[in-house]
Amino acid sequence: MSAYVYVDGLASSVSMEVLIRLFSDCGTVRSIDILPKINGESLRIAKVQMGSAEEANRAIEIMNEATLNGKVLVVFKEPD
């Protein structure tokens, strides 16, 4: 089972450091990639690798529909 989650709906001002602090409450954060801009527009999506599948599930339970910088986050697993 995957330990990756995706975070959609990020404000353009959200940094990797903020995401690390936020998702560390759910477990070990192994890596975070904020997806690059396309045509100058941020995708506002990050890929977060948690320490285990259980921690990824916890991140979804805790962080999905949370508000960060006035934006509602959508946290989900990679589609099979």
Helices (H), ranges, the chain: 16-24, 53-63
What is the domain extent for residue 9? 4-77
CATH of the domain at 30: 3.30.70.330
Burial class (CB in 10 A: 0-12, 13-18, 19+), 22: buried
This prediction's pTM: 0.88
What's the pLDDT tens digit per position in 28-54? 999 999 887 777 666 789 999 999 999
What's the pLDDT tens digit per position in 1-36? 679 999 999 998 899 999 999 999 999 999 999 887
Sequence-ordered strand ranges (E) for the chain: 4-8, 29-34, 45-50, 67-68, 71-72, 74-77
Give me the chain's average pLDDT, please: 91
Q: How many domains would you assign to the chain?
A: 1
Matching residue, tokens 């339970």: 61
